[in-house]
Structure formats: structure tokens, C-alpha cells
Structure 1
């Protein structure tokens, strides 16, 4: 916001007024008092006018959606008072976008361009949230997931097709060149994430390998090496796909693609290893366990709730988190759009809690907005919006 201070110009001569001066000028004391009474009104009017000139997106919430079938990333604004979405534009890419990430300064958006085995950097206009022309890397691996390390110097990617994890360099906010490191981790590597200390990395593998690769990560050199033990085995038929750290940094939650479940793990910050503690289903007991698959998972900023999506059942499962043990208790499922491959919790302004959740229906080409009760975690559907073909990723960003 632009702030205005009304001051006398110091370059102008100043006068001391006495009653004789007022009489001589033709201004009565009553007239002066009337003029004085107008000053607050003038001040408010002037301030309102200047404030209206502020950038329209300052303090606003922007939603980015990878519309894979249309080879573009769409930009929406979200009204934090009502949850209403308004489409603002889109940017075309050379191939189908998937996973998204944004730089800490909110000036660059990073996208996996899966069909072309490339990565894209898109400049972000901080006053509008709109995206500029993409900078595309040479072909590398097919990136199913992108993650920016805590230094902002490296983009870590996982490749489902090649069964590998890779690291690419970021210079001046732009991903440059092909990957500098590629490490084979096995079939169906589905995501990658660093720990809060930025010294370790994890790669969940869905399907038959059914594991979470545990790596040491050097943020200075941008290199991986296997940790000890090198991986955490998944439970029978689990197939871990995505993971999220709890805000306290001591717990990790895995969503299991084949298992239609969420696993709670303890995290050892010294060794950089995971230990399984609990697994809970994402679907009701009477659901046909041969049907459907899990996709995405998120933890609320206050650490009190976990949400996970299940395709086929087409729902978002909600769990409360025990604040001493990290264990999960199911609060049920909320129906969502068809094939919820991706969803996001929308950050509140100025660090307030997430009052909305947006889920992308990959199978219905639609976005659905939920109102989230911060106290209970409950989701209430508000409105569904048509979008482009095959929304594969949705991410909300608040511009302060």
C-alpha cells in the first residue's frame, strides 16, 4: 500500500500568524476553525485516492493450474472473503505441464514439462501474478515431480518413467542446462522432497518397488548419495507416492497409491531416516479395495490436520493429528471432482490459517473450492469451476 504524508513544503517560507494578521487578511477566527474542521475529511479523501492506485494483486491469492491436455498453465485469483475463483489468463508451454513449484521470493514459477522431458522457468509478475514467457531446459529426464531446495539453488526432480532422481542448477532464478546429477533409484519414482534441514532427500516409489529412497543431499555441491539404510520399505501393497513433513519437522506422512492409505512416520533429523509408526485407510471399510488409487497429500500449517486424495473413490480424506504422538484419527471423506490427482490448501493472508481447499478433477476438467473449518478441519463444498483439459496440478500462492 502507498502511504501518504501531507507536509508543508520545507522550501516555502513559514509564517507565524497572530490575531492581528488574521484580521488584516480578512479571515476571522471562526473561518479558520471551519477550515480546520475540513482537514480530517481532506486527509481521508486524499489517502483513499492514493491507496486505490496500489497494485491490484498486492496481498491477493493466486491459483496456478497445470492444464496438461491444453499444454498451458492457467492463472486464477481467489477471493479470500468468499472463495470465488476468477480466471486471469494462461501461458502456453511446448508440452504438457505437471508438477509446479515457486521460488521463495515469488518471482519464478517452475514447471515439469513431462511430455517433452523438460523443465520450464516462468517469470512471475509480483503485481499481477501473471506469468511471462517460459525459459525451457534441454531434454533430460521425464520429471513427474519438481522440488526446490531451501537455498533456491537447485531443483530436484523425480522421474517415474526412468526410475531416477535428478538435480538441476538454478542461476538468477532460472533453471539452466540439463541435470548435473542423475541417480537411478528404481521404477516408478513418484516424488522427491528435502527435509527441513536441507541435508537429506526422500524419493517415494509407487508400484512393485514399494519404498521410500533415503538420500543424503549436499546443498553446496548439489549432489546425492545413498543414506544408511538406503530406503524405507513400504507396507504390504502400499506403494508410497507423495509425502509431506509435519510443521514440527519430526513427523512425515506418506500417501500410498496402491494401498489407498496414509502412513505416519517418525523422522530422525540427525540420521535423516524414517521409521513407520501407523497406517490408516483413506476410504471407508466397505469400499472395494481393488478399485481406486491415492494421489496427493497435504498437512495444514498449524499441524492439526492431514488431507489425502483418492481417485476412483473421488474424495478427500481428513485426519486429525495427535499433537504429542503424530498419530492420525480419521474424520471421514468428502466427495470431490472426478480423479482428484492434485489439490492444495490455500494459505490465508498474512500467515493466517488455510480457510479454503481447491481440488482439481483430472477426469472432469473442473476445479472445486471447499471452505475449510480451521478449528475442526471439516470441508464444505462451495462451487465448481470448469477449467482446461486434464488439470494435473494446482498450487495456491499468496502475494503479500
Structure 2
């Protein structure tokens, strides 16, 4: 199965350029923020515009994708969105983002190696990484100059239940969490050809049955934060950017004080753009845990937990750091929160309808120059 381009990059950019020229000629400037929500069971992506002053959201588009839409990833320049479909045939859909209205324009599709739980790109935007929970593997697809992901070029077997894959800030290495083997892997990355070479030993071995899931790097590249799915824990790792190695410095709970579930079920985590606060979602209690980050030591201090949509698999923070948008797999609503920039506290400010089984949120901001 080969990739299927629908529109050339030249055609898309020409159309958008024409609109931008018209906007410039009218003397207007354009800055906008858009949110994208993948809905697995309704097989579509909900598109919203976000008001930067109030946090209010307006629905602007619903895009059918013809499959179980789950993980998404933005290109580094934020002009493209990639959506992974976890129903057969497994594939990735490549979209161009119109900066004027946030609309998605489908450019093409390409096969994925398996049902993928996670997508990300390298720092150059030339390669798409993916991790397969069911297929126990990692994979690489090239991305063309037209922004369209191509056919699978490499697969790498892992232990059971690979869950997330992201490049290190320097793009020399790629890291991947493997839930079933309680490991965090390091792989050498050759940006000239997209090839991954795994280390013989994990970069970090976690306690048995912890179930490492998603992870993020701090903006200053000094720390990594890794959430577990199975034991209700969140780990702070000191990251050596010169050697791309880590050492543990803290483990903290993501569970509310009154947790009464049979077992924890950690999901996602995100830092505010200024690095001062971190948020994590827990699906059994349907809560968001909030932490203050000591930017000197990397350590976290618990602020509190906040109720959110039922079974919150995915959420995200807008580039301004003022708003958090969360979805729950057992809810058909997205909840918007205002973030207190001084304390990190969350205040719910609205709910908005989305599709069935919403599970992933991406947010992009255009300032008129990009």
C-alpha cells in the first residue's frame, strides 16, 4: 500500500497565499489559536477556534477521517497535522492547516506499520515516529517536502505495549516508553536518513508493573517527566543534555487524596509553556492533578486535583499558557479551564460538544508571521 497524495503542497500554499495577500491588502493582521480533537468512535476530528482573551471556543469544522482517529501530531512549524487511524487498514492522514480559519485540508494518506498509540515528528519535521501498543514495535515514516507522510521505512520490535515515542531536544536520540516491560528506551537517531538504532540496554528501568506511558521534556532540556499508567505515579528525571541520559530524582502520586478506584489509570501529562506548572490526567477518578515545578531542581510540589470529563485520556495547554482543554473518552464534551498564571490553579470556564470517544487534543497558534 503506497501513500496517496490528494493535493500538492504548491496547490495548497498557493490558495492560502492568495488569501493572505488579500488579508494584507485590506490592512488587517491575523493572529489566531485553533484546537483539534480526535474522536475515535465517530471517526472524525473536531476543529475549534479559541478566543485568546476569554478562552471561549467556537466550532469551525468537523473532518471525517474514515477510521478510528486517535493519536495526532503537529509538524514543528505547525503547518501540518498528522492523525493516526487505529482501525484497519492502519494509516496516517496528513493535513495542511489553514492559518486563516484553522480548517484542515487533507493532503494524503499512508500506511502505518500497526495500530499506533502515539505519533510524533523529529525536530526537522522530515520523519514521523510511531509507537504500537498492540504490535509491540516502533516505526518511522518519512515526510515529504509537501508535508505528506510516506510509506513505512523502518520498524523496530520492542517489549510488550510500546506506548510513546519522542525525540530528545537535540534530535540526536529518540526515547520510547514500553508499558509492558516497564522500560524507557533510548535509540540513536540519524536525521540524515531517519534511521533509528536502539541501545542494548534501556535508558531507564522502572519498578515492575508501573507501566510507563507518556513523557515530556522541560523547555530548558534539564528534566524529563514520565507518567505511569498502572501505579498512579509520576517520575521526575534529571536529563543530561550532553549525553542524553537520565537519573531519577523524584516520584510523586497523581491520585486524588480520596481515591477509591480499584486501580490507578494514568494517561497524559503536559507542562505550561513557561515550565512553571505540570498537569497529569488520571482516568479512574476522572481528575487532573496539578503541580508547581521548581525550575532549579525540577522537583514537583502538588497543588491539587480537579474533576474533569469522564475518563480523560487526552488534554493539552494552549501556547499562551492561559488555557487547558481536556476531553474524556466516556464524555462527548470538551472542558475548558483558565490557568491561574500565579498559582497554577484551574478554573472551569466552559464545555463544548465533540465527537464520540474523544481522546487527543492538539492546539496551534498563529501570530500573523508564521
- TM score, norm. by length of structure 1: 0.82
The Cα shift of 1:52 comes to 10
Q: Distance in 2 between matches of 1:55 and 1:190?
A: 44
With a CA cutoff of 8 Å and minimum separation of 6, indicate the structure with the bigger relative contact order.
2
Deviating more after overlay: 174-183 vs 285-294: 285-294
Secondary structure at the counterpart of residue 115 of structure 1: coil
Q: Which residue of 1 aligns with 2:343?
A: 376
Q: 1:125: Cα distance to partner?
A: 1.4
CA contact (8 A) 1:347 1:397 kept: yes
Decide whether the 8 Å contact of 1:319 with 1:332 is kept in 2: yes
Say whether 1:185 aligns with 2:166: no
C-alpha contact 2:113 2:155 (8 A) present in aligned 1: no
Tell which deviates more after alignment, 245-254 or 218-227.
218-227
Match of 1:395 in 2: 362
Supply the distance in 1 between the matched residues of 2:92 and 2:245 (Cα, whole angstroms).
29
Task: Kindly report which structure 2 residues correspond to 1:21-32, keeping only aligned pairs within 5 A, or say none.
Answer: none
Quote the Cα distance in structure 2 between the aligned partners of 1:55 and 1:237: 56
**Contact kept? 2:277, 2:344, Cα under 8 Å:** yes
1:247 counterpart = 2:219: yes
**Alignment-derived partner of residue 31 in structure 1:** none
Aligned position for 2:197: 225
Q: Cα 1:139–1:190, aligned 2, differ >3 Å: closer, same or farther? A: closer
Please identify, of 115-124 and 137-146, the stretch whose mean Cα deviation from structure 2 is larger: 137-146
Q: Shift of residue 329 of structure 1?
A: 0.9
For these two proteins, the number of residue pairs brought into alignment is 344
CA 260–52 in structure 1, closer or farther in 2 if over 3 Å, else same = farther
Tell me if structure 2 keeps the 8 A contact 1:108–1:173.
no
Which protein shows a greater Rg?
1
Q: Distance in 1 between matches of 2:113 and 2:190?
A: 21
Question: Is the 8 Å Cα contact of residues 215 and 230 (structure 1) preserved in structure 2?
Answer: no
1:153 aligns with 2:126: yes
Once the two structures are superposed, residues 181-235 of structure 1 have per-residue CA deviations (whole angstroms, 9 ceiling, x without a partner) of 10011211111001110011111122x3111111111111211112363341112
Q: Which runs of 5+ in 1 are unaligned?
A: 1-49, 349-353
Q: How much does 1:51 deviate? A: 8.0
Residue 265 (1) aligns with residue 232 (2):
no
Q: Looking at secondary structure, tell me which structure has more helix per residue.
A: 1
Pair 1:143 & 2:116 matched: yes
Give the deviation of 1:174 after TM superposition. Answer: 3.0
CA distance in structure 2 between the aligned counterparts of 1:132 and 1:154, rounded to whole angstroms: 20
Displacement of 1:289: 6.1
Cross-structure match for 2:41: 69
Runs of 5+ in structure 2 lacking a partner? 1-22
Q: Distance in 1 between matches of 2:181 and 2:362?
A: 29
- Residue 56 of structure 2 is aligned to residue 84 of structure 1: yes
1:1-400 aligned at under 5 Å gives the runs: 53=26, 58-116=30-88, 117-206=90-179, 208-227=180-199, 229-288=201-260, 290-348=262-320, 354-400=321-367
What is the rounded CA distance, in whole Å, between the counterparts of 1:304 and 1:255 in structure 2? Answer: 18
CA distance, structure 1, for counterparts of residue 294 and residue 200 of structure 2: 29
Structure 2 Cα separation of the partners of residues 122 and 371 of structure 1:
29
Alpha-carbon deviation of 1:175?
A: 3.5
Q: Deviations over 1:116-167 (max 9, x none)?
A: 3111101221211101134110352222111111111101111111111111
Give the drift of 1:107: 2.3
Q: Per the alignment, in what secondary structure is the counterpart of residue 87 of structure 2?
A: helix
* Cα 1:333/1:139, change in 2 over 3 Å: closer
Question: C-alpha distance in 2, partners of 1:59/1:393?
Answer: 24
State the SS of the aligned residue for 1:104. coil
The structure-2 alpha-carbon separation of the partners of 1:223 and 1:389, relative to structure 1 and needing over 3 Å to count, comes to same
Q: Distance in 1 between matches of 2:327 and 2:342?
A: 24
Following the alignment from structure 1 to structure 2, what is the Cα–Cα distance between the partners of residues 276 and 388?
39
CA contact (8 A) 1:118 1:136 kept: yes
Cα offset, 1:314, TM superposition:
0.6
